């Protein structure tokens, strides 16, 4: 009797066949999963470049931020001053009309309306400068070389005017006028210098995407 005979009922039962080994996965390179490249994580700041590091977002220099605040403060004073000049111009015009209705004098009427016109003109110029101050302050975040040059010229002219007013106030002006002139000169100097220093120049020359 042979156990090797497959027809022998007393022979050893056949062993179950072993399952074939699982196929081997080819090694994957770092950054790839199942043959597809993994996405680089998004940091949320700056600009990402394929295959390179993420560029951090550039922030506005501190001196430029100070100049921006000064521009907004100056615009507020210019708006208040412009409205005041317009009110004085309207007041002078009304007084002139009332006076000439009682004493009809052509010279008085012409002089009164001329003064009123000058006051209204000063008020309109002040409001226009306020609009320019606000525009420059807003454009600091995205503006280029045009905003930089305009800010430097605007600040230099403001500093010059403030210096002239300071000289006049030191001669025979009240203390309030001297203090106001000093503040005006200081604000103008900061606004002029902020776009000209290295940080300000780099900020306005930075690439934009």
Domain boundaries, the chain: 62-204
pLDDT digits (tens, 9 = 90+) for 169-188: 888 778 888 888 899 999 99
Tens digit of each residue's pLDDT (9 = 90 or more) over 125-174: 999 999 999 999 999 888 788 999 999 999 999 999 989 988 888 887 78
% of residues, the chain, pLDDT over 70: 71
Q: How far apart are CA 12 and CA 136, in angstroms?
A: 98
Q: pTM of the entire structure? A: 0.68
Higher pLDDT, 140 or 40: 140
- The token duo for 189 is 């100097």
**Which tens digit of pLDDT belongs to each residue from 53-109?**
444 457 888 899 999 999 999 999 999 999 999 999 999 888 887 777 776 777 777
Nearest Cα neighbor of 194 from 63, 73, 71 is 63
**Residue the block writes with tokens 């609009």:** 131
Length of the chain, please?
Answer: 209
88: which residues sit within 8 A by CB, 6+ positions away?
119, 123
Q: How far apart are CA 148 and CA 108, in angstroms?
A: 47
């Amino acid at each position: 009797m042979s156990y090797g005979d497959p027809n022998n009922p007393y022979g050893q039962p056949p062993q179950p066949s072993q399952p074939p080994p699982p196929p081997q996965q080819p090694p994957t390179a770092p950054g790839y999963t199942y043959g597809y490249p993994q996405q680089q994580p998004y940091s949320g700041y700056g600009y990402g470049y394929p295959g390179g590091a993420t560029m951090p977002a550039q922030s506005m220099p501190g001196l430029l931020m100070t100049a921006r605040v000064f521009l907004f403060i100056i615009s507020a004073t210019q708006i208040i001053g412009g409205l005041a000049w317009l009110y004085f111009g309207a007041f002078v015009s009304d007084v002139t009309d009332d006076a000439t209705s009682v004493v009809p004098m052509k010279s008085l009427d012409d002089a009164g309306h001329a003064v009123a016109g000058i006051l209204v003109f000063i008020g309109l110029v002040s409001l226009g400068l306020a609009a320019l101050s606000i525009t420059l302050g807003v454009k600091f975040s995205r503006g280029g070389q045009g905003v930089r040059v305009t800010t430097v010229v605007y600040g230099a002219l403001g500093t010059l005017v403030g210096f002239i007013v300071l000289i006049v106030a030191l001669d025979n002006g009240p203390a309030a006028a001297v203090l106001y002139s000093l503040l005006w000169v200081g604000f103008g100097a900061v606004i002029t210098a902020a776009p000209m220093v290295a940080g300000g120049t780099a900020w306005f020359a930075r690439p934009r995407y």
